[in-house]
Chains A and B, each alone.
Chain A
Amino acid sequence: MTRIVLVDDHALVRAGVRAELEDAFSIVGEAGSVAEAVTIIAREKPDVVVCDVHLPDGTAATVIAGCVERGVNSVFLALSVSDAAEDVIEVIRAGARGYITKATDGAGLIDAVTRVSEGDAVFSPRLAGFVLDAFATELPESSADPELDRLTNREQEVMRLLARGYAYKEIARRLTISIKTVESHAGAVLRKLQLSNRNELTRWAADRRIL
């Protein structure tokens, strides 16, 4: 059974998420702060960490960095009330495999945890929208790795359908490709989002916040 650690500074939220996930997964630990989270994750080495974005002593990105430093290779799923572009991009760039908002219902949460635990990327429609927006801006020619800084047509198509609310299965049928291919496109987009050299990506996210 997939082993899970919950990180959120609100005990009530942890209790709620635990109630939703308990039947499907085994929850091996809970933490309310970055320091606590890193210690528990390093000890338990869970398969998936469901992590709130804003913690009293840092962000989900700090937790991910701390765990990577200790050589833990758990998969991170960010769960937050905030869907501000800046937060989303920061956590994804730190290495989270997915980002869902707390408005997601129980079934959606279980589905998301299952998918990230299988190595898949979880895009909410909003996250797909962020990706499209961020990669849509024109690139300066001097870009270090143009491959990374552009979405292929197929990837754009997949992102567009994700943003329109389609599930992977539906996208596969619509584009007449296999689900595995859809997943690999989504994975590639996630990798580009994480590795892209573009400073614009960060600036783009910051701009959205202040606008």
Chain B
Amino acid sequence: MTGAMPTARWQLPRLDRRNRWIGGVAAAIATEIGVQPTIIRVSFIVLITVGGWGLVLYAVAWAILAIGTPSQISPYSPVPKGATSVHRHVGVAMVVLGLVLGFLPLTSELFRNLVFPVGFVLTGALIAWSRGQREQEGISIVVRVIAGLVVAVGGLIAFAALQFNLVDTLVSLVFGLAVIAGIGVVAAPSVIRMAQDLDGERLGRIRSDERARISAHLHDSVLQTLSLIQKNADDPNRTVQLARQQERELRNWLYGTTPDNPHAIRLGPALEDAAARIERDHGVTIDVVAVGDNDDHAPAVLDALLAAAGEAMANAAEHSGVDRIDVFAERRGDTIEVFVRDTGIGFDTAQVPTDRKGLAESIQARMRRAGGRAQVHSFPGEGTEIELVLPIPASAPRAPGGTP
């Protein structure tokens, strides 16, 4: 056997799940010694049929060999063909058939006293220990253990009842149960304590991971900004800007909503981003309130709206003469409305200064092209409000995978 893999230290072969019929034992052994898996399978069946030792061998091998895919696939089975459930069912049927054929005479003492009970226990253990597909794990583990216990214990009781006196069987069963219960009672506290310790340890690890994550973030963001602020203490504008930027960033980190889909954007955070840019460039404060929309949108849908809102904010920051701008966005049904408002000098919409007219028109043109509209409300001395309305058609290309 050792000659099979001359390059590396010999290791136990692993169960070959891809080529398995039942547990992959035959396939693994075949791979290891380099023969057709069928040969091994037939040998197992023969061994099971004559005397039942094949079953014991198979079970022991199955228990020892760990699960895995062999690093080297058997040259005799280049195509993984044993993975279908049909093959597995055929394999199980053949084993059962072998058992039945082997035990049919039922004359041998050996069969009666050894193979039968061992067979039941092993079958039960097989059911309990068999590893299902990954996605089936969880509940099915409990089910499998219970089913295995029923087969093993039930089979043994039935067997014993047939062989011996029913009363004797029950008495020894009660004894056995009493012993198991005793062991359980004695061992329970330490088992429970072990489980609790394990839980506590896991919790502690999660906590310290979380703490490490938070302190790493605070170090990268808040501490950096604080030291920047110390350096810029003479420049109040820069200090305010830094603080504001950091506040926004931290707030977003703490309470922010990140879309589930990296290719999607959300109205609120997208507007916050736009506002943060204007704040940085113009040294104003912009309060963004977004209501009623938690959908992920494809960036193209909101493109025009965000650009127009950004222009409106920049416009207000430059011309209004105040350093405070309110932005309110609301989704009502299939329409998104955005209001950008300042309480600054305002102007007469009938006699628009050319620079503002140009801007208003560019905002309006942008919104029109996207199928929406824009309107400017303003009076001299009473501030300005720009209203943007964008219908989102029901068939709008929602970001793929976005939550409805």
Contact = CB atoms under 8 A, between A and B. Distances in A.
A112 to B, nearest CB: 15
Interface size range of chain B in the complex: 10 to 19
A34 B217 CA distance: 31
B385 A211 contact: no
Contacts of B385: 164
Contact of B255 (A84, A103, A128, A165): A84
Interface in A135-165: 136, 160, 163-165
B257 A211 contact: yes
B167 interface: no
Nearest to A207: B294
B292 A208 contact: no
Interface stretch (B141-149, B155-163, B283-291): B283-291
Given A125-B328, A164-B385, A132 B255 contact: no
A33 B233 CA distance: 31
B295 interface: no
B339 interface: yes
A197 B255 CA distance: 26
B326 interface: yes
Nearest to A127: B289
Given A160-B330, A165-B328, A165-B343, A84 B289 contact: no
Interface in B310-344: 326, 328, 330, 339, 341, 343
B384 to A, nearest CB: 11
A133 interface: yes
Contacts of B285: 103
A203 interface: no
A136 B292 contact: yes
Interface size range of chain A in the complex: 10 to 19
A192 B289 CA distance: 21
B324 to A, nearest CB: 8
Nearest to A101: B287
Nearest to B285: A103
A32 interface: no
B254 A132 contact: no
A209 B287 CA distance: 19
B291 A165 contact: no
Given A84-B254, A208-B255, A209-B255, A129 B326 contact: no
Given A163-B328, A164-B339, A126 B289 contact: yes
A125 B329 CA distance: 11
Contacts of A211: 257, 294
Contacts of B341: 164-166
Given A164-B326, A164-B385, A165-B341, A133 B291 contact: yes
B309 to A, nearest CB: 13
Contacts of A133: 291-292
A104 to B, nearest CB: 10
Contacts of B255: 84-85, 208-209
Contacts of B326: 125, 164-165
Interface in A181-206: none
Contact of A165 (B254, B257, B287, B292): B287
A208 B326 CA distance: 21
Contacts of A84: 254-255
Interface string B224-262: 000000000000000000000000000100110100000
A133 B254 CA distance: 20
Given A84-B254, A208-B255, A132 B292 contact: yes
B281 to A, nearest CB: 19
A165 B386 CA distance: 13
A173 to B, nearest CB: 10
A211 B385 CA distance: 31
A136 B328 contact: no
B153 to A, nearest CB: 47
Contacts of B330: 132, 160, 163
Nearest to B287: A125
Nearest to A159: B291
B38 to A, nearest CB: 56
B328 A164 contact: yes
A139 B294 CA distance: 18
Interface string B342-354: 0100000000000
Give the most central of A125, A126, A164, A166: most B CB within 10 Å.
A164
Contact of A129 (B254, B257, B291): B291
Interface in B266-309: 285, 287, 289-292, 294
A163 B257 contact: no
Contacts of A126: 287, 289
Contacts of A165: 287, 326, 328, 341, 343
16 contacts: A103-B285, A125-B289, A126-B289, A128-B289, A132-B291, A133-B291, A160-B330, A163-B291, A163-B328, A163-B330, A164-B339, A164-B341, A165-B341, A165-B343, A208-B255, A211-B257
Given A160-B330, A165-B326, 17 more contacts: A84-B255, A125-B289, A125-B328, A126-B289, A129-B289, A129-B291, A133-B291, A136-B291, A136-B292, A160-B328, A163-B291, A163-B330, A165-B287, A165-B328, A165-B341, A165-B343, A211-B294
Closest 10 CB pairs of A and B: A165-B326, A129-B289, A164-B328, A164-B339, A163-B328, A211-B257, A165-B341, A133-B291, A132-B291, A129-B291
